[in-house]
Amino acid sequence: MRVLQKLFSLLVIAVVLLCGCDTKKVTDRRRIPVETFFRNPEESNFQLSPDGQKLLFLKRTDFRLNLFCRHLKTGLEYQLTNKKLNDIENFYWVNNQRIVYIDDIEGKQSCQLYTVRADGSHRVNLTPYADIRVYIIDGRVYNGNEMLVSFNQRGSNLFDVYRLNMETGVTKRVVENNGRITKWYADSKGDIRMALEVVNGQNRLLFRSNVTEEFQTLLTPKPEDKFVPLTFMPNDQRFYALSNRKRDKMALVAIHPSLPDSETVIFENANTDISEFNFGPRSHRLIDVAYRSSRLETWPVDSFSLKTDRYFRSRFPDKSFRILSTDSGDRRYIVKVFSDKLPGQFFLFDSKTDTLRQLSDINPDINPQQMAESRLIYIPASDGGVITAMLTMPQVLPNGPIPFVVYVNQTATYNIGTFDPLAQFLANRGYGVLQVYYRGINGFGKRYRATGFRDYASRSLEDVVESSEWLIESGFATKGGIAVYGAFFGGFAAMNAAIRRPDLYACTVSYAGFYNLLSYVEGVPEYFKPYQMMLFEMMGNPREDSLNMRQNSPYYQTSKIKKPVFIYHGMYDPRVSYRETNRMVGKIRKNKIEVEYMLVSNEGRGMKKEENRLEFYRKLEGFLARHLY
């Protein structure tokens, strides 16, 4: 087995070195500014009005993303919001003249719903309530000016459904939440006929034929299965779902409620989960399906999307693309074109005239020729399995090993084949980057996920360490010449890796990580309570596994941290209290270990504000330069 693993490693090395990596000594690497990689896009998130005559989009103004409307024929442009403290993120067309958008409250994980006309007039707060979270059910408009929304006015975990009139602001509650419903599904008439309920950590799908009936359990997936209902089909007789029931990979399926255990496969791929799909914004007609192999691949469903698919494949053969928006007549499309070296360009495609018009470049300062190439690789594991990873090497390589950052990534299905600003930033600074898609992650099938299920503090963490050892055995890096970096669960994993093998790593970076398994699974906010039993299954139940959970929690192992640490945390993070992170930092410093600590007072989970993002990556650059070179 070890001989086969060595041969496999040598093959990967040969492939990497033969694919465009110059082995000359680094002499003139262009140093691209931090801002180029991490500032907000100039223009993004384009949406066509139903008549195809106007564009709704986000535009960078004074470091914030604000909402704008542009007339395609005249070029006349209106600024619809003027946010100074936070970005606008979610928005929809109600009709050709009215827009609805969600406004997050300054880093505090609460938000409100507003409507405004396309010329910026008649702004109305539709949910003027304190401390609520608002979700738009499906983005469709019913009876000309009504939408279905869900918010938690009655209690933090009670997300009821309301029918909301966008013109008058009148809301009418149509369904009450029993505290266990995590998602609602409406048919084409706007009737709530399905709901996803979580009971004792187990999902079950509820269904009713019409609104006069009570909800009944339609199906309960097995714990090892993953089943995600999507939407009713246009005729309301069947519904779409992503499912790996009776198969290893997630497939797009159609199900009739009278035969819930019978799935008609719409599309599947033998090697990877189906992860993305497009539905018409008003009809909910399926447009296309996508999956990620070495890049994002699309499968068009009908003649409209097939024509667009063929056009873009011929025009951009080495790029991926996604349809982002259509008009109500399926004539005009907004399409994003991107790759691992190109952040993205937005185009307006007219399928009737076969004409293409570029709308925007997400980051015009990024030159794809100066970006590093990322390759999906497979690392043999000690248990006989295989660890999936993404390897990014600097364009110019010195002779011999280079400093490396092992990046614990929990979003594999979203960043494979796309531009990763962190990987490109690190490669530009001369670091190799190995993104480890540990077993337990979604995207690579049921067996891959199940290997780390209920074992997050063991097998998944071993994958991080073994991937780091592979770098050394393969000659890419040296022992002590590696930094380990992770976000969220990745921060937990990175800290654990540094504790288990301090000889491997020069330093550790944790971005919004957690460090105590016990408090993490017990201290969930009220609106997350339905998922708590799922966390017990994945990470351990404190009533049964407390000893093992303590042994695998960095908070109780700080004496084993021997190398410098950089920790970022948002003060309004609802999942991990900054006070607990403060205690973690204090315990490490008590042992005379260097800790760079960035606690930000106006952020929640993660980091949304551009100025904070730029400060973090400048600090990261300095931290790595001090400890990894």
Chain centroid to Cα 441, Å, comes to 13
pLDDT tens across 157-177, in order?
Answer: 889 999 999 888 889 999 999
Cα–Cα distance, 264 to 503 (Å, whole number): 52
Q: Which pLDDT score is estimated for 13?
A: 53
When pLDDT is averaged across residues 335-346 and rounded to a whole number, the result is: 95
When pLDDT is averaged across residues 48-72 and rounded to a whole number, the result is: 95
pTM exceeds 0.85, yes or no: yes
Asked if residue 189 has pLDDT above 70, the reply is yes
576 DSSP 8-state letter: S
Beta bridge partners of 99: 93, 116
Asked if residue 155 has pLDDT above 50, the reply is yes
Cα–Cα distance, 451 to 441 (Å, whole number): 9
When pLDDT is averaged across residues 323-329 and rounded to a whole number, the result is: 90
User: For the chain, what percent of residues have pLDDT higher than 70?
Assistant: 91
When pLDDT is averaged across residues 608-617 and rounded to a whole number, the result is: 94
Cα–Cα distance, 622 to 434 (Å, whole number): 20
Chain centroid to Cα 206, Å, comes to 27
Q: Which residues are CB-contacts of 322 (< 8 A; sequence separation ≥ 6)?
A: 276, 278, 290, 296, 298, 335, 336, 338
| Comparison of pLDDT for 284 and 23, the residue scoring more | 284
**For the chain, how are helix, strand and coil distributed in percent, rounded to 5?**
25, 35, 40
Question: Residue 524 in contact with residue 532, Cβ under 8 Å?
Answer: yes
Position 238, amino acid: R
Asked if residue 29 has pLDDT above 80, the reply is no
| Comparison of pLDDT for 24 and 84, the residue scoring more | 84
pLDDT tens across 285-311, in order?
Answer: 888 898 888 788 888 887 778 888 899
CA distances to 266, 283, 366, 402, 489 from 12, in Å: 35, 46, 28, 16, 28
What are the DSSP E strand ranges found in 152-215? 160-165, 171-175, 181-186, 192-199, 202-207
> pLDDT class for 613, splitting at 50, 70, 90?
very high
Question: Residue 151 in contact with residue 199, Cβ under 8 Å?
Answer: no
Q: Which residues are CB-contacts of 429 (< 8 A; sequence separation ≥ 6)?
A: 31, 621, 624, 625
HSE-CB for 433 with a 13 A CA cutoff = 28
SS3 assignment, position 498: helix
CA distances to 569, 619, 621 from 34, in Å: 20, 10, 9
Asked if residue 25 has pLDDT above 90, the reply is no
Question: Residue 93 in contact with residue 282, Cβ under 8 Å?
Answer: no
Q: Which pLDDT score is estimated for 457?
A: 55
> pLDDT class for 26, splitting at 50, 70, 90?
very low
CA distances to 172, 184, 194, 211 from 208, in Å: 20, 12, 7, 7
∠ CA(544), CA(586), CA(464), 5° rounding? 55
Asked if residue 11 has pLDDT above 60, the reply is no
Position 136, amino acid: I
Q: Which residues are CB-contacts of 368 (< 8 A; sequence separation ≥ 6)?
A: 339, 341, 342
Asked if residue 8 has pLDDT above 70, the reply is no
- Which residue's entry shows tokens 């799922």? 534
Using a 10 angstrom Cβ sphere, with 0-12 exposed, 13-18 middle and 19 or more buried, the burial of residue 440 is buried
Using a 10 angstrom Cβ sphere, with 0-12 exposed, 13-18 middle and 19 or more buried, the burial of residue 452 is buried
| Comparison of pLDDT for 13 and 589, the residue scoring more | 589
Asked if residue 209 has pLDDT above 80, the reply is yes
Asked if residue 9 has pLDDT above 60, the reply is no
Q: What is the mean pLDDT of the chain?
A: 88
Q: Which residues are CB-contacts of 7 (< 8 A; sequence separation ≥ 6)?
A: none
Question: Residue 229 in contact with residue 280, Cβ under 8 Å?
Answer: no
When pLDDT is averaged across residues 428-432 and rounded to a whole number, the result is: 96
**DSSP line for 122-151:** --EES---SS--EEESSS--BTTTEEEEEE
H/E stretch holding 7 reads: helix 2-18
Q: Which pLDDT score is estimated for 19?
A: 46
∠ CA(85), CA(91), CA(96), 5° rounding? 130
Cα–Cα distance, 483 to 467 (Å, whole number): 13
SS3 assignment, position 192: strand
SS3 assignment, position 157: coil
Position 178, amino acid: N
**DSSP line for 395-435:** SB--SS---EEEEE-S-HHHHTTS--HHHHHHHHTT-EEEE
Residue 352 CB neighbours (<10 A): 10
pLDDT tens across 74-131, in order?
Answer: 999 999 999 988 899 889 999 999 999 999 876 566 888 999 999 999 999 998 888 8
- Which residue's entry shows tokens 């980057």? 433
Cα–Cα distance, 555 to 34 (Å, whole number): 32
